[in-house]
């Protein structure tokens, strides 16, 4: 990368990291509070509505935004907000009508009121899609973070907690979700209004053609993410779905919290160096090492502290789902690691290859989950894990092919992170076995400290240069220089 681009990337990573940490704290508080106010069945009905939205309106919105981010002519984004919102609304009405027909004919357990609330909020937020894409293209992540934090506080936390305390159950979750959509969209429009004002209809065909390519992997990503909720709901019912979803979310949450801020900046920075093979290879090399070094220790640390994590975050009534956390932690690793690798393919327009990987993964999930459901939630979790490992493996092969390297090279780049992850798992288990009657919160703190120490020592020995890169991205120059000096002495 050029020095100017590196500076912008560092600023973007730091901004998003701060915002992500603040947002993570808010989400953690929200999880803890709502787990005490609601029951698994409430989450089950809400998750079905979310899954339908994710496969329709949210999928389309995501595909449009991705197409706008990679479009070379930024002027095409101006004045497109009303058209995007109108298209999303039309899709939402069709989806609602189709779902109502399926519910009436097959007796599917879906709450149409919850679905209507979620679809309405997602459709209206489409007004801000071009503005959000403009901000991402300009690496202006401050307004994006501000909108998300405001939405999390006013929507997910305050609205959901108040309505949940009043006994609205799943409606509390659906209403809070729509409020969050609207608050975030309003903030974005204030920061980048050129995406909406003076509606333009000229050159309408350019974006749909690009969106067609982007939508191939996007629709399959959406399918891959929502197959599990829909299968569990139809086979096991809303309450088991609520258990599965909450546990999967609390495992995904800290990993996404750590990776999300860097991942946002990643696509924009990779697009900037995609034309230079040397710079692109160096960026992908660092990306693979960083993804493995960040994701693996956290995912396997969660697997090792499953009982304590559920007890602290969700509470006693959710403990029956704790045994599936190790399987879901490995599944989250596969999804996150494979997703980060897939960004490199998208940055150079390899949408077809990404689509084929998603198709293979989704197909494996469709087969594995119904078979696994015969053994309850544990079987579903194992099926999810196997499918996600396939996803990671295929993306590793794709990344190796783009660089004219072998898969073994990608494995070698990733191996320090895997060793750090194994150290985290063993450290968390050791603390759990020796903890005795220690209170859960104290046990979790001890496990976190043990995992952090184990991961740092493993990376210090195996990939010290990665620690230098991470410190340069996250710390001011003085702090980075001090860290480098101390590590170099070691």
Tokens 């509390």 belong to residue: 172
- Are 190 and 263 in a shared domain? no
For the segment 425-435, the average pLDDT, to the nearest whole number, is 88
Q: How many CB atoms lie within 10 A of CB 166?
A: 11
Do 240 and 200 belong together in one domain? no
What does the pLDDT look like over 297-326, one tens digit per residue? 989 999 999 889 888 888 888 888 889 999
Share of the chain above pLDDT 90, in %: 24
The better pLDDT of the pair 170, 10 is held by 170
For residue 72, is pLDDT > 80? Answer: no
Question: Is 246 in the same domain as 160?
Answer: no
The answer to whether residues 321 and 449 belong to one domain is yes
Judge whether 115 lies within some domain. Answer: yes
Residue 169 CA to chain centroid, in angstroms?
25
State whether 273 and 141 are in the same domain.
no
Greater confidence (233 vs 176) lies with 176
Q: What is the pLDDT of residue 478?
A: 46
The pLDDT assigned to 74 comes to 61
Q: Do 175 and 316 lie in a common domain? A: no
Same domain, 312 and 168: no
Is residue 213, in this structure, part of any structural domain at all?
Answer: no
CB 11 within 8 A of CB 204: no
Q: Which residue has the tokens 């960040």?
A: 294
- Please tell me which residue, 164 or 6, carries the higher pLDDT value: 164
Per-residue tokens: 422: 């194994």
Higher pLDDT, residue 74 or 241: 241
- State the pLDDT confidence band at 191, using cuts at 50, 70 and 90: confident
Q: Is the pLDDT of residue 203 over 60?
A: no
pLDDT of residue 218: 60
Q: Residue 135: which of 143, 125, 145, 127 has the closest Cα? A: 143
Q: Could you tell me if 382 and 468 lie in one domain?
A: yes
C-beta of residue 263 within 8 angstroms of C-beta of residue 343? yes
Nearest to 228 by CA among 39, 95, 42, 380: 380
Picking from 450, 449, 454, 456, the residue whose alpha carbon sits closest to that of residue 471 is: 456
What's the pLDDT score for residue 480?
42
Mean pLDDT, rounded, for 404-411: 90
User: Would you say 116 and 124 are in contact if contact means Cβ atoms under 8 Å apart?
Assistant: no
264 — pLDDT class (breaks 50, 70, 90): low
Are 158 and 265 in the same domain?
Answer: no
- Burial (CB < 10 A; 0-12, 13-18, 19+), residue 237, is middle
Domain that holds residue 179: 1-204
Instruction: Give the model's confidence band at 488: pLDDT under 50 very low, under 70 low, under 90 confident, else very high.
Output: very low
Which of 27-36, 138-147, 266-275, 348-357: highest mean pLDDT? 27-36
Domain endpoint, select from 204, 226, 253: 204
User: Does residue 84 share a domain with residue 19?
Assistant: yes
Residues 330 and 192 in one domain: no
Q: How many domains is the chain partitioned into structurally?
A: 2
8 Å CB contact between 427 and 298 = no
The verdict on residue 221 lying in a domain is no
Last residue of a domain, one of 204, 222, 252: 204
- For the record, the structure tokens of 150 come out as 């405001």
295, 197: one domain: no
Burial of residue 211 (CB within 10 Å: 0-12, 13-18, 19+) is: buried
Average pLDDT over residues 138-148: 74
User: Does residue 228 form part of some domain?
Assistant: no
Residues 42 and 173: beta-carbon distance below 8 Å: yes
Task: Tell whether the model's pLDDT for residue 483 goes beyond 50.
Answer: no
User: Could you tell me the sign of the dihedral formed by the alpha carbons of 123, 255, 332, 346, in that order?
Assistant: positive
Q: Is residue 282 part of a domain?
A: yes
Provide the mean pLDDT of the chain.
80
Looking at residues 433-457, what average pLDDT do you find?
Answer: 88
Question: Between 192 and 288, where is the model more confident?
Answer: 288
Segment 404-417 shows an average pLDDT of: 91
């Amino acid at each position: 990368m050029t020095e100017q681009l590196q500076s912008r990337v560092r600023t973007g990573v730091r901004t998003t990291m701060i915002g992500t940490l603040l947002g993570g704290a808010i989400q953690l508080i929200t999880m803890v509070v709502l787990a005490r106010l609601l029951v698994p069945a409430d989450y089950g009905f809400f998750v079905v509505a979310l899954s339908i939205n994710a496969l329709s309106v949210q999928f389309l919105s995501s595909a449009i935004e991705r197409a706008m981010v990679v479009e070379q002519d930024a002027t095409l984004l101006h004045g497109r907000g009303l058209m995007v919102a109108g298209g999303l609304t039309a899709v939402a009405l069709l989806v609602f009508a189709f779902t109502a027909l399926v519910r009436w004919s097959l007796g599917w357990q879906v709450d149409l009121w919850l679905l209507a609330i979620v679809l309405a909020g997602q459709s209206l937020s489409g007004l801000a899609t071009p503005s959000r894409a403009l901000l991402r293209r300009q690496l202006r992540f401050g307004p994006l973070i501000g909108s998300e934090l405001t939405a999390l506080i006013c929507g997910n936390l305050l609205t959901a907690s108040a309505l949940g305390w009043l006994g609205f159950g799943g409606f509390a979750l659906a209403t809070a979700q729509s409020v969050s959509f609207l608050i975030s969209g309003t903030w974005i429009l204030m920061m980048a209004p050129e995406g909406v004002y003076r509606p333009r209809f000229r050159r309408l065909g350019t974006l749909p053609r690009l969106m067609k390519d982007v939508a191939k992997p996007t629709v399959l990503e959406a399918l891959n993410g929502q197959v599990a909720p829909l299968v569990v709901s139809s086979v096991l019912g809303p309450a088991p779905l609520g258990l599965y979803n909450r546990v999967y979310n609390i495992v995904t949450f800290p990993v996404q919290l750590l990776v999300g801020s860097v991942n946002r900046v990643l696509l924009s920075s990779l697009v900037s160096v995609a034309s230079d093979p040397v710079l692109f290879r160096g960026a992908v090399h660092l990306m693979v090492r960083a993804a493995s070094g960040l994701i693996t220790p956290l995912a396997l640390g969660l697997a090792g502290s499953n009982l304590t994590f559920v007890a602290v975050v969700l509470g006693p009534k959710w403990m029956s789902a704790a045994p599936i956390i190790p399987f879901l932690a490995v599944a989250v690793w596969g999804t996150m690691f494979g997703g980060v690798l897939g960004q490199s393919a998208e940055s150079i327009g390899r949408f077809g290859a990404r689509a084929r990987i998603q198709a293979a993964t989704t197909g494996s999930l469709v087969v594995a989950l119904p078979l696994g459901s015969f053994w309850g939630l544990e079987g579903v979790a194992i099926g999810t894990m196997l499918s996600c490992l396939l996803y990671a493996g295929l993306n590793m092969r794709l990344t190796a092919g783009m660089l004219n390297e072998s898969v073994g090279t990608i494995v070698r780049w990733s191996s320090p992170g895997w060793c750090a992850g194994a150290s985290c798992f063993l450290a968390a288990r050791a603390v759990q076995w020796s903890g005795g009657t220690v209170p859960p919160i104290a046990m979790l703190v001890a496990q976190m400290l043990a995992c952090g120490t184990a991961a740092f020592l493993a990376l210090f020995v195996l990939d010290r240069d990665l620690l230098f890169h991470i410190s340069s991205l996250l710390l001011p120059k003085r702090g980075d220089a001090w860290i480098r000096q101390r590590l170099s002495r070691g």
